[in-house]
Amino acid sequence: MVGVIRHPAPAELPGLAAIELAADARFAPLGIVFPPGTTMIEEVSDPGRVYVTGRPPVGFALVGEVDGNVHLDQLAVHPVHEGKGLGTALLEAVCALGDVTLTTFRDVPWNAPWYARRGFHVLDSAEWGPELEALVAHERELGIEVAPRVVMRRLRSVGT
């Protein structure tokens, strides 16, 4: 059962890195290994950019703003808790904020196909704004594009 989606307490932020690392480990069998270094969530100091589920948290969504849209920087649920609707609940909380963009792996079942089933569609590069173009270029520089990636968007008016 999905609980309350909320912003974390500042003291909960450091513990979210373990969730991100556990979720990222699911990619290794597909040959996708993320560059070493700090996790995305470890770079966040503002709990207002983060939504969590669980007490203590077992999943989170990290948001920002790109080209005037809400941008989903990261969505992670600890693998022990996957398949319970927690990721969908976090995503719906983010989508309630406005139009949402994200970048994701095209062929990973729990990435682009999962988002597509929840109302997202792939954006052609001609539809990207300058900040989104810069973000995609930055991901390439970091080595994240080790498998085909896409940019997706869901308009606020689209429900699942």
Task: Identify the CATH number of the domain in which residue 104 sits.
Answer: 3.40.630.30
> Is residue 159 one of the residues assigned to a domain?
no
Stretch 38-46: mean pLDDT: 86
| Per-residue pLDDT tens over the stretch 46-99 | 999 999 999 999 999 999 999 999 999 999 999 999 999 999 999 999 999 999
Instruction: Give yes or no for a contact between 60 and 50, defined as CB atoms under 8 angstroms apart.
Output: yes
> Is residue 138 one of the residues assigned to a domain?
yes
> Is residue 134 one of the residues assigned to a domain?
yes
pTM for this model (two decimals): 0.89
> Is residue 160 one of the residues assigned to a domain?
no
pLDDT of residue 147: 60
| Per-residue pLDDT tens over the stretch 104-116 | 999 999 999 999 9
> Is residue 58 one of the residues assigned to a domain?
yes
Range of the domain at 90: 5-154
Does residue 126 sit in helix, strand or coil? helix
Domain count, the chain: 1
pLDDT of residue 143: 67
Output phi, psi for 128, to 5 deg.
Answer: -80, 140
137: part of which helix (H) or strand (E)? helix 130-142
Identify the residue whose tokens are 């941008």. Answer: 71
77: part of which helix (H) or strand (E)? strand 69-77
